[in-house]
Amino acid sequence: MPKETINSNNDIDEFVHQMHFDYETGALIYISSDLQLDYIEPSFQNLFPVLNFSKIKEKILKDNVSIETHLKGREIPFEFTKIKKDGKDVLVARLLVDSLFFGYSQGNIIPIPILGSFLTAYVDCNFKIIAHNKNYKTAFSDNGDHFIGRPIYHNIINYKSDVHFPRIKKELKEKLFWYSNAVIRAKGKKFVPYILLAYDRPQTLIKSQYEVHFFPLEPYLQDTFTHYDAHSNGSNSIYSRNVFEGIVNKYLTADDNDKYLLFFDINDFKSVNDYYGHDVGDHTLKEISRIIGETFKGYIVSRYGGDEYTVYIDEKISQEEIVALIKLANQRICADLGDKFRSCRNYLSVGISKYKENGVTLNELINAADTAMYVAKREKSLYKFCYEKD
């Protein structure tokens, strides 16, 4: 079949990563635009020379067939199914990966197929979006926003105009991938931390210079990839200080909600290290991170440094509700870890500041809450507000 008669879409749609073949002849009748294949007369047998067309059809009569096969010199998994299209039987070959993830293994860069569909944008050499998948649009579009032709940083809140693209391109050329973290305005006008991974490879299946995958940070914080650990402090509820500051700085200017900053210090934690050793101390801190993260789930929590934690609350909440959460965290630390502390009545000292009453910047709120925390510690109380009750 002449190449120009093959049906193809310019958008990445519901037929993403698919090829459709005539069920009787095996001729290619549709190919999604993301699959870059150069054949004068494309057919099932030309594209999948190691597979038997007739045997594939026999197998899919019983069930869908998932097979790893060669395509452009790579072992890539495809699923073969039979559908009805315009009254005719069609054999569909659907790619089972959204992309090929490149990682390190024993010092070598290797392709790792990852099942599922990421938030993926396909960009040109100037990092302008030429296509994206549906998940990308679902995550970032509130009102059918049009992203094609826009720069990749259209919704990256902490983008700076002096981003050194030549350096990024150099790293992409040398390592085949580049990653960074960014605070992104997602659907619903939420500010969410993401990991961005960009890829450049010579045998790409996508008609673009680079692919950029967006990973919402929280679900991946327990991942084995070490660069996630650098941002997560190893907890699925706790952000690192730089990510915390990036998110909170945006929320502080986003709306007129009530905004609170809680600054935590762990009392007498030094005695845990001194008496039990640093291994036990490290484990104790991980458990405290878990407890604070779970207790304040839904809010923005950070291990701010050492044995200090911060929590940002961006909603209407009473002092009594804040106190109840602080008491709950203290009680859970007592129940789970109380035997590790030598002499504590309160395991926490917490200072609480409020937006506008105690400052309008994150630094002002943290300084006010930090001061209140030291007052609480000095008075041997669990918490101290540094503003008057509403």
Would you list the domain boundaries of the chain? 3-95, 100-216, 241-385
Quick count: other Cβ atoms within 10 Å of Cβ 334? 16
* Domain 241-385: which CATH number of 2.40.30.210, 3.40.50.300, 3.30.910.20, 3.30.70.270: 3.30.70.270
Domain 100-216 is found in CATH 3.40.50.11720: no
Identical fold, 3-95 and 100-216: yes
Tens digit of each residue's pLDDT (9 = 90 or more) over 199-240: 765 444 556 778 787 877 665 443 333 233 333 444 445 777
- What value does the mean pLDDT take over residues 333-348? 79
pLDDT score at 101:
45
Looking at the predicted structure, is the pLDDT value of residue 4 above 50? no
- The superfamily (CATH) of domain 3-95 is PAS domain (3.30.450.20)
pLDDT score at 113:
46
Prediction pTM value? 0.54
pLDDT score at 102:
41
Least confident of 35-39, 64-68, 105-109, 268-272: 105-109
- In this structure, which amino acid lies at residue 245? E
Q: Are strands 74-85 and 190-199 parallel, antiparallel or unpaired?
A: unpaired
With CA atoms as reference, report the closest residue to 23 among 113, 73, 88. Answer: 88
pLDDT score at 233:
43
Give, to the nearest 10 degrees, the angle between helix 319-337 and helix 278-295.
Answer: 150
